[in-house]
Chains A and B, each alone.
Chain A
Amino acid sequence: MSRRTFAVGIVVVLVVFAGLGFLVDRLNGDRLRPEGVAEDWLVAVGDTTRKGVRAESEERAAEIGPVELAQSLLDAAGDTDGDRAFTDLEVGKAATDSGAERVPFRLHIHEADDATDGVVVLERTGERWRVVGIDQRRAGERVPSEGGPPPSSAPNWVWLVGLAVGLVVTGLASLAVRLA
């Protein structure tokens, strides 16, 4: 293997890295799922009791929806001594109801043994989702750990495409080895 081949190999790998970044950006597009927005909001709300990031978290949550909507959850957490209000949280698949999206959630409030559940209600405003309320769950609204569907999952064809891409990359690597 010559130095030139080695240098070419490095350049090819760097180009592949850059191409991968571009591809991922194109694949993601402008997608914005209500489940993820609800999750981001709950995380931000939970962080409003964290020492050092309170102001930033309040700002982050307010961009999605008023923190006051989750005041009952924050009140239940009480004094967290600088920790986050929710130790863990999980969201399920959204369901459409009268133009709004209902995202079921399940979380543990600081130092509480029992989980708290509910539904985050979001409405679309332009290209963004905005949290407009927290509601109680209805029948059938579950998170994945309770047997509900995940917020999103890969369609079946993605697995075949993944395997095909792996084979193509392997073929290209094999070709590069033969050419080197």
Chain B
Amino acid sequence: MERWGRRPTAMVYFAGGIIFSMVLFQVSDKVVSFFALMLAVFFGLGMSPLMGAFATELFPTRIRGQAAAWVRNWFEIAGFVLGPALVGVLGDHATGAIGNVGDTVTLLMVLQLPTIWLVWRYMPETKGLELEDIHA
């Protein structure tokens, strides 16, 4: 993140997390699943420090604390809750609209694909900048 920059690192980790999660939930081969799981977890966990950096560096100093608190403690936690909840609700074998956990997770990954463009287009590159020098 410090060497490559926030933006390219985020794009690589977002793409890796999305692609390997899709593979993981669409294959039944144990060997492929094992490696897809490792890579999905690797890239998925790697998103957390990236989001932490963005949450604090994206906003100007006067609202930095409040903004970071909202982003991390509200929306991020909401994502932790809503993501798995959506999978359970839509993928439930009895009542879910999709009725298949694997397809539901894959669909949520497909929904995320265009967000990589958002990162490329709008996320400011803050590598090497002091917090005081960032004026979003």
Contacts and interface: CB of A to CB of B under 8 A. Distances in A.
Nearest to A159: B110
B96 A28 contact: yes
Contacts of A154: 98, 100, 103-104, 106-107
Q: Is the interface of B mostly helix, strand, loop or mixed?
A: helix
Interface residues of B, number: 39
A170 B115 contact: yes
Interface in A159-180: 159, 162-163, 165-167, 169-170, 173-174, 177
A167 B111 CA distance: 8
Interface residues of A, number: 39
Interface stretch (B8-16, B44-52, B87-95): B87-95
A170 B98 contact: no
Nearest to A34: B94
B122 A166 contact: no
A174 B118 contact: yes
A162 B103 CA distance: 11
Interface in A10-39: 10, 13, 17, 20, 24, 27-29, 31-33, 35-37, 39
A151 interface: yes
Q: Is the interface of A mostly helix, strand, loop or mixed?
A: helix
A72 interface: no
B100 A151 contact: yes
B3 interface: no
B99 A144 contact: no
A49 to B, nearest CB: 23
Interface string A112-145: 0000000000000000000000000000000011
Question: Which 3 residue pairs spanning A and B have beta carbons closest together?
Answer: A36-B94, A152-B99, A36-B93
Interface of A: 1, 3, 6, 10, 13, 17, 20, 24, 27-29, 31-33, 35-37, 39-40, 91, 144-145, 150-154, 158-159, 162-163, 165-167, 169-170, 173-174, 177
